[in-house]
Amino acid sequence: MGYTISIDIGGTFTDFCVSQDHGDTHITKSPTTHYDLSVGFMKGIKELAHIYKLGLDDFLRQTDAVRYCTTLGTNALIERTGPKLGLITTSGFEDTIFLGRARSWADGGTTNENKDLARIEKPEPLISRDMVVGVRERIDSFGNIICPLNRDEVFENLQTLVDRGAMGFVVCLLWSFVNPEHERMVKEIIEEEYPEDYLGSMPVILSSDVSPKSAEYTRFITTIVNAYIHGVMSDELNKLGIELRDGGYKKPLILVHNTGGMKKVSRTRAVLTHNAGPVAGLHGALTMSKIYNYNDTIFTDMGGTSFDIGVITGGRLRTYDFIPLIDRWRTNIPAIEVKSIGAGGGSIAWVNKLMGNALEVGPQSAGSMPGPACYDQGGQEATVTDADLVLGYLNPENYLGGKMLLDPDLSREAIEEKIARPLGIEVVEAALRIRQIIDARMGQEVFNEVALKGHDPRKFVLFACGGAGATHACGFAPYLQVKKVIVANYAPVFGAFGASTVNVQQVWEKSRTLKIFQWATQAYSEDVNTFNGVVNELKNLAIRDLRLEGYKEDQIQFRLELDMRFGMQYNLTKIVSPHLNVQTPQDFKDICDRFNEQYSAIYTPEATFPMGGINVECFYLTAFVETPDPRIGKGSWKHRLKDSEPLESARLTSRQAYWPEAGKFEETPVFDLVKLKTGNIINGSALVEAPDTTYVIDPDWQFTLDVYHNGILKRN
């Protein structure tokens, strides 16, 4: 009866989800300890062991897997705590990362920062100009060596970087994604001079390994970001691994990736861990959608710091982020797209004097330390959680199942001082405005994310997850006009739950331009060897890596995706290829038909132009080993009462809560989610308290507990 522990570290809380073979699933939360993430990590695991009435040693010895969504790399970027790196590139291209893109100054900036054009600046580079050297070499676009690499010149430049304090090396040469020979030669030279058995040994990161794709700037930045967080993550994860092993855990630590998969630490590139928690949550929503047979769903997760948005269409995670943003850097990793904005329970409300005393909420967050004012940990700012408490929606004596007590007086004081008094309004009105502003912002962002992808949000089902999702679902759902909102039983820790659903998986990618439909002859290509050569190269890499994970070749499944475009077009459209390998021109026709179909769905059929030729620009091979879905408990409808009313034992004492429709505080019934039975129906206004969240059911909404113990919200 082995345990699987899944952990998702957030800005305010660290979430835990543990499942047992053929057993139940349990969840818990622990405040995120930013000074040392392992402290909150181990505290949560001890709480899980206590749930099963086991000591830490016994619990970890019986644990089969620990899956981890980490923010170590992101924190290192934000805090700029990475090592001093040296960059070796092709002579003449030393300034590539400093020139950047046309809008590099806007990447990662807030809306208000980007509006202030007089003060906005490009981000400070992760590698300073004096730590960049160029070597004479040249490989052309076909992979032919035009100018051989000079070993003596490489050695001379290497010594220059070492003398200037380099603690690691990044090698980014032109066209290395077509022919990596020169990059590998540079690595051999470095390792010959500083072998692993020397104390002076330093990591060497090649762009042809991390990002074998075209476009110099994003390839360089992706490799640099990977190298920058590599050392920090390696040290911290090794430390965490030692703590787990000392506690009795004998298996490798597994990291969740932003590609929608997971692999053990030793087989993971650091850059693939960024934003893994939200992606895991989206995967959890996909798992839950399959149970309900929903093909089109919207995933939202409102935590303490951020609000995450993801879209599932056709029963698949189809959308990859276009040049994903990590902190303030554009990369080209094949990450699943999940949009995050600064909107959560800890989002700070503030008066923008430059905009005529306009009330704004976020993106700044109070985090876990000091947290909202009501946490009584020294926080002085008014937050969304403070507003919810003042309005009577949260129980100050039963927050997080009673593990944390809230102080309503501190919330009132903060809102009065920071918001109400400067605006000349009452505290309750200020709290209501804070809540309405954050709800409107979230609703509009979700609408944009769905509608701008060509979908009608009214046809989707909304998953409201996160610790604050149930509290605000009725507030932002009307902006989408969805017919149903699902708040999953595991919604407060949905990132951790989602981590328990992902497969062992990784994406291998390679840029290669192939004209599979010729505009001049209006015929399909017959060059099947080039296409199959790229696929087989990626396939061999995948089989090698997953064998090292301990899997046999017959367990591995493959999915091929292609970046395609019409001839001379700039934008790319990703499709799932109907063929892993091609045999005839008819197979190329099938691929082109799939591309035309996908392009038509996004841009309308009138926008297609196959006569201009159709190109494949990049190959993405996903290799995965399916993981059984976690056991999701299903209740029985036999407990359903004739009138669907909750039992009296499920009803707690009522309390005063403010309802905008009435314009006043009203005595509101409060129910205990744990004591509700399958099929119970509650009409708003009402509050339902769960151990890790609170449902706020507005007057025109109805709550039903379904057979999976998920809360279903519908408008009356």
* pLDDT per residue as tens digits for the range 442-475: 999 999 999 888 889 999 999 999 989 999 999 9
DSSP state letters, 411-427: HHHHHIIIIIHHHT--H
Cα separations (Å) of 180 from 145, 210, 213, 364, 655? 11, 12, 11, 43, 68
The answer to whether 405 and 397 have CB atoms below 8 angstroms apart is yes
Indicate the pLDDT class of residue 637, thresholds 50, 70 and 90. very low
Cα separation, 204 vs 61, whole angstroms: 36
Which pLDDT does position 22 carry in this prediction? 59
Cα separation, 437 vs 341, whole angstroms: 14
Cα separations (Å) of 42 from 29, 564, 590? 12, 46, 52
* pLDDT per residue as tens digits for the range 173-216: 999 999 999 999 999 999 998 887 776 678 999 999 999 998 89
Tokens of 203: 């990591």
Q: Where exactly are the structural domains of the chain?
A: 3-76+234-273, 81-223, 293-500, 503-625
The answer to whether 18 and 373 have CB atoms below 8 angstroms apart is no
Q: Which residue has the higher pLDDT, 646 or 52?
A: 52
Looking at domain 293-500, does it have CATH number 3.30.420? yes
- Residue with tokens 């002085």, as numbered in its chain: 380
Least confident of 3-12, 305-314, 615-624, 631-640: 631-640
Q: Is 516 exposed, middle or buried (0-12, 13-18, 19+ CB in 10 A)?
A: buried
Q: Which residues make beta-bridge pairs with 509?
A: 620
The mean pLDDT of 38-48, rounded to a whole number, is 89
Which pLDDT does position 78 carry in this prediction? 78
Tokens of 424: 């000349």
Tokens of 229: 């967080």
Q: Is 688 exposed, middle or buried (0-12, 13-18, 19+ CB in 10 A)?
A: buried
The answer to whether 464 and 470 have CB atoms below 8 angstroms apart is yes
The mean pLDDT of 650-658, rounded to a whole number, is 91
Cα separation, 551 vs 105, whole angstroms: 45
* pLDDT per residue as tens digits for the range 94-136: 999 999 888 888 888 777 777 777 888 888 899 999 999 999 9
The mean predicted confidence, pLDDT, of the chain is 89
The residue among 460, 497, 42, 33 whose CA lies nearest residue 241 is 42
Q: Is 492 exposed, middle or buried (0-12, 13-18, 19+ CB in 10 A)?
A: buried
* pLDDT per residue as tens digits for the range 552-609: 888 999 999 999 999 888 888 999 999 999 999 999 999 999 999 989 988 888 999 9
* pLDDT per residue as tens digits for the range 376-391: 998 899 999 999 999 9
* pLDDT per residue as tens digits for the range 58-68: 999 999 899 99
Percent helix, percent strand, percent coil in the chain, to nearest 5: 35, 25, 35
Question: Fold match between 3-76+234-273 and 293-500?
Answer: yes
The mean pLDDT of 134-139, rounded to a whole number, is 96
Which pLDDT does position 382 carry in this prediction? 95
Q: Is 604 exposed, middle or buried (0-12, 13-18, 19+ CB in 10 A)?
A: exposed
pLDDT over 60 at 653, yes or no: yes
Q: Which residue has the higher pLDDT, 1 or 535?
A: 535
Expressed in angstroms, the distance from the first to the final Cα of the chain is 44
Residues of the chain with pLDDT > 70: what percent? 97
The mean pLDDT of 240-255, rounded to a whole number, is 89
Indicate the pLDDT class of residue 29, thresholds 50, 70 and 90. confident
Q: Can you identify the CATH homologous superfamily of domain 3-76+234-273?
A: ATPase, nucleotide binding domain (3.30.420.40)
pLDDT over 50 at 345, yes or no: yes
Which pLDDT does position 631 carry in this prediction? 60
pLDDT over 80 at 477, yes or no: yes
Tokens of 342: 């600064």
Cα separation, 694 vs 673, whole angstroms: 9
Cα separation, 504 vs 261, whole angstroms: 5
0.85 surpassed by pTM: yes
Least confident of 68-77, 221-230, 384-393: 68-77
